[in-house]
Amino acid sequence: AAEQAPDGTAKGKPRLLLMGQRRSGKSSISSVVFHKLPPSETLFLESTARIQKDELPSFMDFQVWDFPGQIDIFENPTFDIDAMFGEIGALIWVIDAQDDYLEAVARLNVTILNLQRTYPNIKIEVFIHKVDGLSDDYKLDIQRDITIRIQDELSDNGFENAPVTFHLTSIYNHSIFEAFSKVIQKLIPRLGILEAMLTNLCRTCRFEKAYLFDVTSKIYIATDSAPADMTSYEICSDYIDVIIDVTEVYGSWPRSEKHREGLEGSPWNQKLEDQVASNWAESCMVLSDGNKPIILREVNKYLALVAIMKEDSYDKMPLVNINVEVVVQGLEEFFDITKPK
Amino acid sequence: MPPDVRNEVKKPKKKKVLLMGKSGSGKSSMRSIIFSATIDIDLSHVKFLGNLTLNLWDCGGQEAFTENYLTQQRVHVFSNVGVLIYVFDIESRDVERDMATYVSIISAMVQYSPTAKVYVLIHKMDLITMHAREAVFVDRVRLVQQKTAEFTQASGFNSELDLIPFATSIWDQSLYKAWASIIHDLVPNLSVIESQLGSLGTIIEAEEILLFERTSFLVVSSWTSEEGLGNPTGDRQERMSNILKHFKQSISRFTGTPRNAEQFILMEHKAGPRFSMFVCKFTTNTYLMVVLPPGEARFNSARFNCQIARESFKFLDGPTPGQGQSGRA
Ligand SMILES: Nc1nc2c(ncn2[C@@H]2O[C@H](COP(=O)(O)OP(=O)(O)OP(=O)(O)O)[C@@H](O)[C@H]2O)c(=O)[nH]1
Ligand SMILES: Nc1nc2c(ncn2[C@@H]2O[C@H](COP(=O)(O)OP(=O)(O)O)[C@@H](O)[C@H]2O)c(=O)[nH]1
Ligand SMILES: [Mg+2]
């Protein structure tokens, strides 16, 4: 459920604001991405009556605000615009691609112009949403049309380089996670260092692709320099699901003390903690297709590294694990240093 | 394994599995879920456990067609049947006629494959409101049993026909439960496998071992240690089937290979100081999943022991595909 943050406690945390017309899909997006609601169950969501503020404890604590569709924040004197946009963050404007979108675009234009005057650094992310069921050609046509309508309006008003980005999204596939990944990545200080670390790892271990995931939302917060494609993201993200589900079935209940004593006795004669190689989860799946391994390594409570290896590289796993361990330590240091104080 | 046990293991004859029921009763939907087969109109059969074929037959409706295989093709269709799975649509408007069609199928079965097992699936149970489900199911099963008994008495069939009923729906776990039980009965030499799993589990200090059929990922056999019995997740077998099958489909999307093709060889997961597990290809027709207490050495030794055990399980697979095949309808 959404939690109302007490006022003032959230200073310094990046904030994502979800706005757009009624029924455009804002609450659905936030429930599917951050609360694991199955997409089909969003049919039963009620229209949002007041702003829902969600605190998301994560590798970088951030907030998601889900707005009611009908309110106009610039018309309504009860809104403290400065408190809303004063923090770093992004405005996500959701447009229903299956509906007539002219009014949505007009309202978005007004909003962008208002923001550009006072908060030119706020990133504006346009989600052209509900594109499931639309043909690829039609999707691109809509995206082109909306982009032109917004850019024309902006340049008419003298803003040539407003930070507006477009994403085609749907809650029925991975596209919504992909879009959020890109939005979040812009909010990470010194993202380039993370990317360089992953690119290096891919080179030394001969990985095809590596992603650093926020495990609970399955947003990826960094990847190596090889182009990110939907299929590799999907398989890595689905692998996280497998690990989470398996861990829920076998890793969430306490074994008896007596059993533990037995396991620490002969022939091992060692504390269980000392019998394991790592305190964090390590997984590997070898595909029949070219014996290609996919590996997963927990970095900390929130983050996991998932990578797709080159064909037939399972034999090199011991070496790979050593390299991964080094990178994981580097990542820990990175987040320690960049953590907002 | 002692040589006398080896000799006792009979070479199983290739048997057919028939999936029958009125058109629209849900057969193709079931098949596509259980075997991840694409819904292909032309393909009326699926191969599984290496040597078994699952044949789909529509009954009733297109009368001429039904007539044909109940008469001219009768011997061909109904000989050598190991299992008949008959699907009743709970929503059917003409129950009387359904029963008549069912009885004509049973009569052919009893004639050419009298020892076949008969599973009766009362399907689409999700359409019945929750509180009425149990009663509606019991009622329909009673009717099927009564029709069956009437037939066997009238025809002088001298042994009881054993019906195994299940309430199913493609929208919940009930389908996995019914099919796990069907597959379980079809695996050759299961009792030998089961006792071997127990010895293996004890040696490697496993907490749980699941043996999956490789196409459907249904659990055909399992063993759980005393400590493992404390696991509060009661439906974990169905859940593991579901998890692995789902991921198998993700891999197929990733690699662009067919959904029912083999997708992975090995999965290892070491959850720090909590537990370890692996899933590996085991015999030709099975995958083995082993859940272990934490520990690197224990894990490696278990992997090694399973590798060795694989050899002694191998000959239990039964005849390989292509052996003693008869033509299909
Ligand atoms: N086809 C499709 N439908 C979607 C998608 N996302 C949301 N919907 C549906 O759109 C409807 C409205 O979704 P909400 O999330 O309640 O919309 P909202 O923007 O929060 O609406 P207000 O709270 O009234 O402003 C629901 O029936 C959702 O199931 C999508 O990606 N594809
Ligand atoms: N409600 C419900 N519908 C089902 C179920 N199983 C199948 N159906 C539907 O029944 C229809 C016919 O199914 P199909 O598998 O083609 O039947 P077949 O002709 O026996 O192969 C399809 O529209 C399915 O979606 C079920 O368990 N519940
Ligand atoms: Mg809403």
Q: Is B190-328 CATH 3.30.450.190?
A: yes
Q: What is residue B279's predicted lDDT score, i.e. its pLDDT?
A: 98
Return the best residue to mutate from B29, B87, B91, B174 for the ligand 2 pocket (most ligand atoms within 8 A of CB).
B29
CA distance A299 to A220: 13
Interface residue A276 vs chain B (CB under 8 A):
yes
Nearest of A172, A188, A173 to residue A220 by alpha carbon: A188
Which ligand 2 atom is the nearest neighbour of the CA of B31? 15
Say which CATH superfamily domain B3-186 falls into: P-loop containing nucleotide triphosphate hydrolases (3.40.50.300)
CA distance B303 to B314: 17
**Closest-CA residue of chain B to A174:** B250
- For ligand 2, whether the C-beta of B31 sits within 6 Å is no
CA distance A166 to B280: 43
> For chain A, what is the largest distance between any 2 Cα atoms, rounded to a whole number of angstroms?
80
Nearest of B65, B59, B70 to residue B92 by alpha carbon: B59
ipTM: 0.83
- What string of pLDDT tens digits covers the 341 residues of chain A? 333 334 333 346 788 999 999 999 999 999 999 998 999 999 999 999 999 999 888 888 888 999 998 877 777 777 777 777 777 789 999 999 999 999 999 999 999 998 888 888 889 999 999 999 899 999 999 999 999 999 999 999 988 888 899 999 999 999 999 999 999 999 888 899 999 999 999 999 999 999 999 998 999 999 999 988 889 999 999 999 999 999 999 999 999 999 999 999 888 889 988 999 888 999 999 999 888 999 999 999 899 999 999 988 888 888 899 999 999 999 988 888 776 65
Question: In sequence order, what are the residues at sequence separation of 6 or more whose Cβ sits closer than 8 angstroms to the Cβ of residue B210?
Answer: B219, B221, B222, B237, B240, B288, B289
> For chain B, what is the largest distance between any 2 Cα atoms, rounded to a whole number of angstroms?
65
Interface residue B234 vs chain A (CB under 8 A):
no
Q: Which structure tokens are listed for B132?
A: 């009425």
Listed by start position, the domains of chain B span 3-186, 190-328
The B residues from 193 to 232 touching A (CB cutoff 8 Å) are: 205, 207-208, 227, 230-232
